[in-house]
Amino acid sequence: MIDHMVQLETLPADTQVDDIVEIFKRDGACIVKDVMSPDVVSQTMSEVMPYVERTKYGGDDFTGRNTRRTGALVARSPICRDIVTNELILSVANQFLTPFTERIILHLTQTIYIDPGQGAQVFHRDRLAWGNHIPRNIEPQFNTLYALTDFTADNGATRVVPGSNHWDWDRRAEADEKCQAEMSRGSVLLYSGSVLHSGGENRTEASRMGLNITYCLGWLRQEENQYLSCPPHVAKDLSPDLQELLGYTMGNYALGYYSDPLAERSAGILQPETALGVKSRNKIDSGIAE
C-alpha cells in the first residue's frame, strides 16, 4: 500500500474552470467529485458491460493480465457520447491544451475493468505514446478517468505522483511522493499526459471499473484510431461537436483533407465533413473544397 504523505486535491463539481485548471497545472492531476449522477453511472454500466464481458484480458503486464480494456465507446454507447462532451470537463481540457493547438480532438475512449488479483501497473507518463519527440514545454494530452465503481486503496485506485509533471524524466518517485486517487462512484480523476501514474493493485474480491476518456492536440495522431472505431456511417448521425472531436473537421490550414477515391469525377480535395454528408463548419479558412 502507498503511504499517504501526499494527496490529490478533491474539488466539488461546481468549481470554476479557472480554479480547476490552476490546480491541474500545478499538480498534474486532481479529482472532481460527483460529475456523473447515479443514473448516468448506472446507464453507462448497462451500455458498456456487454462489450466488457466479451473483451479479452491484456496480453502483458502493462495492459494487465487480469484487466480488460474496452474501446470504440463513441460508436457503442450513446451515454458515453454525452460524457465525452461534458461541458465542465471539456472546458477544462480546452483551456489546458489550446495554448498548443488550434483545436483539440478525442484521443481515446475505453473502460478499464480491473479484476481481483491484478497487480499494480508500472508508473509511466501517457505522453510517451508519442515517444520523446514532443518538446517538454508542450502539453499534448488531457486525461479523464471516471469512477464507475468506488475507487479505493484496496481495489486498485489509480496511483499518482502529484507534481511529477514538472520533474526531470529520469527522476523516480519515493514512497512518500505517491498517492492513490480514492474517489466515490461518479467522480472523475483528471490527469495530464506528463504526470507519473499507474493502475493500482486490486486486493479485493470485486472488480474495479473506470471510464477513460482522453483528449489531445489536434495535430497529433490519436491513440485510438477514431476513424476506424467510429467510421463515417456511424459518425454522420452524431452531434456536430462530437464529430469535430472525433476529427471530422480540419485541424488547421490544409490539415486533414481527403480525396474521394471512388468518385467518377474528382471533386479535388475535400474537407472531412464531406464524408459525413454535411457542410463544413470549420472556422479556419483552409481554401479546401466543400
CA nearest to 218, candidates 46, 49, 97: 97
Residues in contact with 162: Cβ distance below 8 Å, sequence separation at least 6, in sequence order: 6, 7, 8, 27, 28, 29, 177, 179, 195
Task: List, for residues 122-181, the tens digit of each pLDDT value.
Answer: 999 999 999 999 999 999 999 999 999 999 999 999 999 999 999 999 999 999 999 999
Beta bridge partners of 109: 213
Read off φ and ψ for residue 216, nearest 5 degrees.
-145, 175
Mean model confidence pLDDT for the chain:
94
pLDDT of residue 263: 83
The yes or no reply on domain 10-226 and CATH 2.60.40.10 is no
- For the stretch 10-34, pLDDT in tens is 999 999 999 999 999 999 999 999 9
pLDDT band at 268 (very low <50, low <70, confident <90, very high): confident
pLDDT in tens, 216-259: 999 999 999 999 999 999 999 999 999 999 999 999 888 999 99
- Domains of the chain, by residue range, sit at 10-226, 254-290
Nearest CA-CA partner of 73 in 230, 235, 232: 230
Statement: residue 265 has pLDDT above 90: no
